[in-house]
Amino acid sequence: MLITGKQKALALAAHISYLFFGVGYILVPLAIYLIYDGKDHFVALHAKQALVAQALLGIMGAVVAGLTLVLVGFLLWPIMALLGLVWFIASLYDCFKVINGEDYRYPLLGRVGA
C-alpha cells in the first residue's frame, strides 16, 4: 500500500506533539486517532502508539512529581530522565520510519498501542 504525504504528515504530527507543551501532547494524537480510526490504519496506528507512550510518560512524571513532595521522588529522577531520553530517541526513530512509510512500535509498548 502506498503511503501518501498527508498520511505521513499526520503520523509525524502525532509523534512530535510533545513539542506543543501543556495538554497538546495528549490532545493532538488523541484527535488524530479518533478522526482516523477505522479510516486509515497507518495514521491510526502511529497516533495510538504516540498517545499511549506520551500518556504513560505523563502519568509517570506526575507520580514522580507527587513523590518529590515527600522527598522520595528525588531518587526516581534519574530513572525518569533515562525513560524520557529513551522515549525521545524512540520518537525520533519513529519519525524516520514514518517518513519511509513503515510501521513502528515503541519499545516496551509492543502491541499495547497497536
Sorted by where each begins, the domain ranges of the chain are 5-99
> Considering only 8-17, 39-48, 61-70, 103-112, which range has the smallest mean pLDDT?
103-112
Do residues 44 and 55 touch, judged by C-beta distance below 8 A?
Answer: no
Dig out the grid coordinates for 59 from the structure. Answer: 502519568
Neighbour tally for 67: CB within 10 Å: 15
What pLDDT digit, counting tens, does each position of 47-65 carry?
998 888 888 888 888 888 8
What pLDDT digit, counting tens, does each position of 91-108 carry?
888 888 888 888 777 766
Q: Using CA atoms, how far apart are residues 105 and 45, in angstroms rounded to an integer? A: 9
Is residue 114 pLDDT above 60, yes or no?
A: no
Burial class, 81, CB count within 10 angstroms (exposed 0-12 / middle 13-18 / buried 19+): exposed
Q: Give the pLDDT score at 111.
A: 64
Neighbour tally for 10: CB within 10 Å: 22
